[in-house]
Amino acid sequence: MVSKHKKQRRTKPLKKKTLNWKKLTRRSLILLSFAAVLAIPLYFFSHQSKIEHDLASIGNGRIASVVQIYDSNCQLCSQLKRNVLAVHADFKDKVQFKIANIGTTKGRRFANRYNVPHVTLLFFDKKGNRTNTIQGVSSSENIGQALMALSRLR
């Protein structure tokens, strides 16, 4: 005969898990640091973006303006933007730099008002009068010369 004995397993008594506050605090701080690293650049990018796209400040009487008519899908527009950024630091106190993105209603209206296509820079004096237009990709040297002439206007 075969005996039907069940082997009894010894079970260890369940231990209560205790909260390891040190580990929890450390993990929380790491997570918060990671979130901050992501959030800070996003905040500054959105803030800078609002400043760049605020076209209402053109002709405010305080500072001259340069507006790039920009299409986010256009490689030539991106090249023109890089060329403007190359001279931006030299003129940032004398000229405000703006972007009219034709992918938005405001940007399209702005470009239509001045009857210009994308890949264009429009230069405005302090009173909001258009003084110069550069169409197409221009070198940073040419843009710098145009900015120098704009910054000399009273």
pLDDT at residue 145 tops 60: yes
Q: Whole-angstrom Cα distance, residue 80 to residue 76?
A: 6
pLDDT tens-digit map of 115-136: 999 899 999 999 999 999 999 9
Distance (Å, whole) CA 32 – CA 1: 67
Asked whether residue 110 carries a pLDDT value surpassing 70, the answer given is yes
Which amino acid, residue 54? D
pLDDT computed for residue 40 by the predictor: 64
* Residues 6 or more apart whose Cβ sits within 8 Å of residue 83: 137, 138, 139, 140, 143
Rounded mean pLDDT of 2-9? 58
pLDDT at res. 48: 45
